[in-house]
Structures are given as C-alpha cells and as structure tokens.
Amino acid sequence: MSLPEDTSQSPFWQLPIGILLEQLGSTPEGLSSPEAARRLMRYGPNLIHGERKRALILQFLGKFRNPLVIILLTASTLSAFTGDTASFFIIGVIVLISVSLDFVQEQRAGHAAEGLRQSVAVRGRLLRDGRPQELPLAEMVPGDVVLLAAGDLVPCDGRVLEARDFFINQALLTGEAYPVEKSPVELPDELQVLSALNTVLLGTSVVSGTARVLMCRTGQATELGGIADTLLAKPPPTAFETGIRDFGILIMRMTVLLVLFVLLVNTYFHRPWLESFLFAVALAVGLTPELLPMVVSVTLARGALRMAALKVIVKRLAAIHNLGSMDVFCTDKTGTLTEARIHLERHLTPLGQESRRVLELAYVNSYFETGLKSTLDDAILEHTEVDVSGWLKIDEVQFDFERRRISVLLERGEERVLVVKGAPEDILRLSTSFETDGTQAPLDEKARLNINAQFESLSRAGFRVLGIASRQVGKEHPHAVVGDESELVLAGFAAFLDPPKKSAAASLAGFAADRVAVKILTGDNELVTQHIFAELGLPVTGVLTGSQIQEMDDAALAARVEQVNLFCRVTPVQKNRIILALKKRGHVVGYLGDGINDAPSLHSADVGISVDSAVDVAKAAADMILLEQDLGVLHSGVLEGRRTFGNIMKYIMMGTSSNFGNMFSMAGASLVLPFLPMLPVQILLNNLLYDVSELPIPLDRVDDDYLSRPRRWDMKFIRNFMLIIGTVSSAFDFLTFYLMLALFHAGEALFHTGWFIESMATQVLVIFVIRTRKGLLKSRPNPWLVACSLTVVAVAALLPCTGAGTALGFVMPPARFFLVLAVLLVAYLLAVDLIKRWFFRRFAPE
C-alpha cells in the first residue's frame, strides 16, 4: 500500500513506524542525553496545565490582591494627595514589609514541601543513550522510547513499538470499564486516537503485560492536556480548606460590623473623614490575621519536614490536617499486621498430602503470567528448582478482582493445558474432579466436604491458601477465555505463611489510645485474618465478608461499619463502599493502599496513604507516601499531624482573641474619647510587630494531652474563645484607658503611647497562656518563641525613646507608667489563665 503524499500531516497513530521515527528524529533505541536535554528546553517539562507555576514576580504581586491591602494602599495614596506624605510612606513600608514577609516565608515553605514531593515523584523507565534508565516523568520528551509494565502510569501519547499481553486501563479518557489490549499494528485509516489500538495516552495506566512505546506528544500537547480543565476538575475542598474558609467568613463578619460601627460613630462626631476612613481600614487590618496563610504554609511545611524525618513523605500539605483529624484507618493486613515476607510453606493435594505436581503447576502459572505479580507469586517463584524449559506459553486470561483468579494456556510437547490459580473457594466451585495418588476422582459432595475441611484447617493455622487447578485442551484451542475456566481438575492447594509483625500489637494499641479505630480490609478469608488477630492478642469486634456486603445496600452497610473491624474477602469496589460508608457516618477516614485497583479508595478517603514500593497508579493517587510499610511509622505521622494542627490553632486562638479584644476596645473608646484611641499608622505598626512575634509558633511544642485525640476545625469553639478571652482583654484595655486619663492625665500623644505599649505587651505575652491548656508554668515554650516575643515587647517599650517613635506620634511615658504596666500585665495574664482553664473545662470536647 503506497503512502499518501501528505503523510507528514497525518496523525501519529496513522503513520508507518519508520516514517514516524524519522519525523521525530528518533530510533527504536531512543534518544541521546544531549538531544533529550535540547528537546526538554524546546518542549518544556512533561506536565499538563495546572501543574505549572507562575513566575515569582507574579506570585509576589498576587499577594497585593488581598482586599484589605488594596484598601490600605488606596487610603494611604489619598493621604499623600492631602499632604500627609509621612503616613503615605509609613503605611506603604509597613504593607510592603508584611507582604514581603508573607511571600518569603511561603516560598521557603513551598520549596521545602516541593523537595519532599520530588523525592517520591513518579518515575519511569526509558531508553537513553541506548540503555535503560529511570527518570521522573516530567523529564521525558517526544522521541523518547519508554518501557512500560503492569502498574505503570503512561507518561505520554505514543505509539506502541513492541507489546506482550499489553492491556491498558483508559477509563479516565474513554469511560471504558474494561482494559483494552494494545499492539504495534498499522492503522492508516483509523480516524480517532481514542479508538486506535496501536496508541497509548497520557492519563491511562498499564494493567498487565509489557511494552516499548515511542513518545509522540507530551504535556499540554496530549489528549489529556487538551481537555485537562474539564477532565481534571478541581477536587472538592478538604476538611482543612473548608475550615480555613469558614474561619475567614467568621472574621469577615466581625470586621464588617466593627468597621461600620466605627465609621458611624466618627461620622456622628463630625471627625475628619480621611482620618476616620484610615482608622476604620486600619481597624479591619488589625482584626484580620493577615499572616494566617503564611503561618499555615510554614507550619504545614515544617510538619511535612518533621514527618519526612519519621519516614512519611507528604505530597499534599493540607493532608497533614486530615491525618491529624483521622479517627478511622483502613488497611490490608499484609505489611501492616504481618511482615510481608511471604513464603510458600506447603503444596498439598486436595486431601492434604505433599505434592510436587501442585508446586510445578503453581510455578508455571506465576512464571508465565504478565500482569503485576503479587507477593504470593514472588513466594512461588523462589522455588527455582522447577524446570520450565519444556513449556511454551500460548495465551492467558488476566487476573481481576471479581474473578479472583488467573489462567495461563501452556503447551509442552503434545500436551496443551490451561493452568488456573486463585481463591480456593472459587477454584473449588469451578472444579468437577480432583487429583489424588496420580489419578483423577470425581468431585462429589463427600469429597467437597473433605476438601473444604482441609482448606479451613489450613486457614485456621494461619496459612494463606491458593487453589491450583488445570484443564486439558486440544491443539485446536488457540486462545484462553474466561469461559475455559470450567470443568477444572483440582490439583490441590499452595499454602503460604506471613508471620505477624512484632511491632503491630504495640502500634495498634497506640492507635487505640489515641482514638483511631483500625479496620482491616483484606481479600483473605476470615479464618486467616482472625488467626493473625489472635496471635497479636487483638480483639475482633465484628466480621463482614464480601459476599455479605454484596447483599447490602449503602444504608445497611453504613449501619454495620461502626462495629466491624474485619472486612474479609472484599473486592476493591467493596473497599471503596466501606470507606464511603464510614465517611457518611461522619468519620475522617485514612486508607493505605499499594495496588493498581486501590486508586479509587485512595481518592475517596480523606487521606490516601501509599508506600514507596507501590505501583505508580497508587503513588500518584496518594496524599502521603510511607517509606516504610509500618503502622508505627504511620502512628508517628498521625501525632505529627495533630501537632501541626495544634500550632496552627495557637495562632488562630491567640490572634482572634487578642485582635478582637484590641479592636473592640478601639471601637468602644472611639465613643467617649475626643480623639482617635490610636492613629491608623500606629495600629498597623502594632499589627506588624504582633505578627513578627508569632513567626516562631510553627517551632513550638504541643502538649501531649492535645495529641491524645483527633482534632478538627470547630468554628463555634473558636468563636466562643474569641468572644470570651477577647472580652477579658478589652476589660483590661478599658482599665488602661481609665488609668491613662485619671492617673496620668494623658493627652492624645501620651494616650496613644501608653496604650500602644500596653496592647503590645498583653497581646504578645498572652501566647504563653493560650499556647497550652495547662497552667501558665506547666508547659515549656520553644526558646525561639520566648526570645522573639520578649524582643518585640522590648522594641515596643523602647520605640518612644527613638526618633522613629517621635515620627510615629509617640512620646516618652513617665517612669511610673512601666510599674503600673507591670502590675496590669501580671494581673491580665493570671486572669486569662484562670478564664482559659474554665473555658476548656466548659467548652472543650472530651
């Protein structure tokens, strides 16, 4: 068949391989490293839209989009036009410092988090310089030749050069429920890339087999890149993001009320409109914890670094909060309750005699299958004494979680046989006879009872069991299909041992003590799982099997999941239903998965967790990666998640209560004072110094009793704390107002100075009360927090002695003011400590 003259314009899936290689300037052995580097510069990283970052300058300018910052800059500009250039420059500098501080800290936090994400970034195998190499998917370019195997993510749109039993799951793009086989066929007349059987596409994954693929399109040029905005819709907000949003709404409401109140009062008293407007805006800024995004980012990033030291790599920072809030953890038992060092201990006939025949059939099945091999396959293949040289593979029926078995069609000499291994109950159901003493016997009711008893005996002893069967077929049988898995001859059982992990009992006890329920979701039968629980000394609170779950609707399942902690013989679809049922009951659910079919459950869980040895599909779907598959590692991560959330809450509880108290005091004072209680620029300086004092909060310790239970956002709790502690703060502010007027006969400048120093001292030092639920002296703060807080208070006290203080409108207060301040400060901290302890007894969850 001759090629058309406009071949160069034909889609890549229609072109002959030779011409396609020529157009891409590549070979079946891939590219050289220098050429790949040039193409990476030309085409950019292999990333789709939404993963690229904005330029730093645009990120910095984006910080000025904050409505309060815009209003503040507008107001300061207006003051410059009215001749008050000093306020213009001072307010501009304060805003610039605040925004820059926020930007720098977030950048540092982002770089730290990105470094951790890159350490577990999905990598792929490809040919470079004629030899296999492993690189991050982002560094692959058009013309590369990538090597794919079961469990891999496809990194591009490309043409299949070679394939062996190569099946792709492309449900993300096409919605097809079943894997599609791909092969290196020529399709000059195929019009649609989604139906081209010689093509793989970015966003799909390999179910089974192996292939060599020529990368034709990468990044935004792929099919997925073209529809990324619609197909890769932004996921629903996490519990953490929802909490931040709700907190923002709470603060916005309080800000609007106070600002409107102040504007109305100042308008009523006919005060200068510009000064009143600036005061109201400064009041809004003072009430708003504008460094909250920075504190959150830094605290989460530091938490991620600490979790990395505990061998938990965080891919999505917000997941740290979800891990700390998690109250149900779902996992398989392999690798968590057991050592994941599985050994094939016995290979038995259906009636319990050792059988070399069972080992041979199990070995050839595992040896010739092309799907992702399980730990059971690895254990079988350790028996290298089995000789496979006489066997030739004809075809296979891949494993799937509904059938729970895999079949391989093999030929040896004149013999052609289908070898099947899988779940014992299914293999037994499909068998009509069994092997015994080298002969076949019919599988009647009596034999079935005896064989079932043998299987249950192995399970009770803690063995994981596979059924092994075969079926002779004729030479005219060219392919294997699911329908061939019938009228089997049961050869026997392969029995495996996976010893319980010594650390599992202590880790589970730690989860229980910290109020996290652990639920086991396993494909194994209930007898094996109960044996493991018994060896670890763990209670079984309830058991549900896959067949029972199949008969339940979602409402019935939701009613049972609370009490049950063992879910046995469940499929991946049923695992996902269990997780959704738990979430429907109001639980924050974590799920640990490492297989191809775990991706839906990892997405459904509040926090998806995988392991470094997992397949690419699972690692890509997970929020966190464990470098060790150990419950102790995860338990440490849970506590770190709670510690991180605890430090974020310190900032919020301290900031909202102190800011609300100060701003409420200002609003109240504006009713009775003949002048503003503090100048706008002084409010902004107060707010800036206060925020600087809180920068070390991410480094602070968190009390052990705070870590003893899951933590979640509670807007009612935050609001009550803000109102009650803020009222205490305002009471001392009003006492300060009285003393400044009655005792010191303060004019406007001295009043501003005295209250500035008092408000800085009280709202900064109160962190040492609010940071712990214990008494004031019973919990040690971080030294950096102590040093920073005391430094900020000292700066505020000494500022009136400087030229800068004079420019800001401050005057030197009399010496006895500081004595009165010391008494007020001690009384305030003791009062807040008493009210705080009452508040936590009254309102805090047990």
Active-site annotation, residues: 332
Is-contact 209 163, C-beta < 8 A? yes
Both tokens assigned to 591: 């799920």
* Residue with token string 């999941």: 561
CA-CA-CA-CA torsion for 721, 723, 725, 730, nearest 10 degrees?
Answer: 170
Which residue, 125, 127, 128, 147, is CA-closest to 136? 125
Neighbour-count burial for 268-293, b at 16+ CB within 10 Å, e otherwise: eeebeebbbbbbbbbbbbbbbbbbbe
Distance CA 794, CA 98 (A): 20
Q: Return the HEC string of 719-741.
A: HHHHHHHHHHHHHHHHHHHHHHH
Is-contact 765 729, C-beta < 8 A? no
Beta bridge partners of 518: 329
Residue 6 identity: D
What three-state secondary structure class fits 589? strand
Is-contact 59 102, C-beta < 8 A? no
> Helices 239-268 and 292-309: crossing angle, nearest 10°?
160
Distance CA 224, CA 170 (A): 11
What three-state secondary structure class fits 844? coil
Distance CA 93, CA 85 (A): 12
CA-CA-CA-CA torsion for 704, 708, 712, 717, nearest 10 degrees?
Answer: -70
Distance CA 282, CA 268 (A): 19
Q: Return the HEC string of 162-211.
A: EEEEEEEECHHHHCCCCCEECCCCCCCCCCCHHHCCCEECCCCEEEEEEE
Q: What is the DSSP string of 385-408?
A: TS--TT-EEEEEEEEETTTTEEEE
Q: Which burial class, exposed, middle or buried, applies to 554 when counting CB atoms under 10 A from its CB (0-12, 13-18, 19+)? A: exposed
Distance CA 262, CA 670 (A): 7
CA distances from 77 to 70, 86, 607 (A): 11, 11, 47
**Which residues in 204-247 belong to E strands, given as ranges?**
205-217
Distance CA 769, CA 753 (A): 25
